[in-house]
Chain A
Amino acid sequence: MATPWIVIAAYNESRVVGVVVAELRAAGYPVIVVDDGSTDGTAAAAGSAGATVVRHPVNLGQGAALQTGLEFALEQGAETIVTFDADGQHRVDDIPALCDALAQHQADFALGSRILGASLNAPLSRRILLKLATWFTRLSTRMRVTDTHNGLRAMTRRGAQALKLRQNRMAHASELLQQIADSRLRYVEVPVTIQYSAYSLAKGQSLGDALTILIDLIARRVHR
């Protein structure tokens, strides 16, 4: 299998994105960082660590940044794309397993699951929120997934071409699963480890964000 391209959406992540990119580059992966209109030195940190930086002129949201990254990676000829979080909570070691799963199961999407794998230092509130999100996704997409808002996933070129994220902000994770379900392409879940840190927890989603996500998803259904 061809070397996967890594797509990272980053907004004001100058503290950690350089380390994340350096680790990925050391493992031999080409990295695209979509700087989502950061006001700190995110673009410079990612660029000097070896990433190709695509820079939104204004802040649009993680969903918009991921879609930009996917489109840019496809344009570069990527055959396999892995989405990876900028905050350092994903492990580079999980990438080969995700890519192998694509080939083994002839799937177009390999979705990382912290439920099948492990989540280190996850607080109770985060676990409850995740359970609720998973329950909602299962109900709305009929997909039998164990983990929903996990940013670590691999996809084939065909899989990436089937995606067109229109939810600019956090609701993109649910939208992505819905689009996978609608595309009828094959997906598989792969155990991964998420390592929470004080930094990644501060950047993560709250109950209020969950409500916003719900409103965004409903608005999308009302509006063509």
Chain B
Amino acid sequence: MIAQFALTMLLLAVLLYAWRQYRRAPAIGLFAMLAALVGLYFVWSPGQATRLAEIAGIGRGVDLFLYLWVVISLLMLLNLHLRLRMQMEVMTELARALAIANARGGAPARPR
């Protein structure tokens, strides 16, 4: 029971995170939300997880849950990558504005 509550809190946190990311990266947000919801269902219906795992040829319900967790982790990693790209775009805009302003002002180009 303690593990179920702990996992529920964790998956609710993932759900909240995915919901917040939905506007920025809809595909990732949606998949992460789905994965978290399915995870929540499995946590509270372990019998169903086991049945589904047997059908999928995975073996145990807990393994299915672990696989699901890996998928969520990968999606969060991808999202992190995309956020880094966004930061890079901001940096590019800044560097560009600086470069053009320097050229406009006739500042000499200084080799590093």
Chain A residues engaging chain B, CB cutoff 8 angstroms: 34-35, 37-44, 47, 52-58, 60, 64, 67-68, 71-72, 75, 166, 168, 219, 222-224
Contact = CB atoms under 8 A, between A and B. Distances in A.
B88 A43 contact: no
A64 B94 CA distance: 11
CB-based closest 3 A-B pairs: A43-B109, A53-B109, A54-B103
Contacts of B82: 219, 222-223
**Dominant secondary structure of chain B at its interface with chain A:** helix
Interface string B20-49: 000011111000000000000000000000
B96 interface: yes
B99 interface: yes
A43 B91 CA distance: 21
Interface of B: 24-28, 78, 81-82, 85-86, 88-89, 91-92, 95-96, 98-100, 102-104, 108-112
A39 B111 CA distance: 7
A71 B100 contact: yes
A36 B112 CA distance: 12
A40 B111 CA distance: 7
A55 B24 contact: no
Given A68-B100, A75-B100, 16 more contacts: A37-B112, A38-B112, A39-B112, A41-B111, A42-B111, A47-B109, A55-B103, A56-B99, A58-B95, A60-B91, A60-B92, A64-B96, A67-B96, A72-B103, A168-B92, A223-B24
Contacts of B104: 75
A35 B99 CA distance: 9
B98 A219 contact: no
A223 B26 CA distance: 8
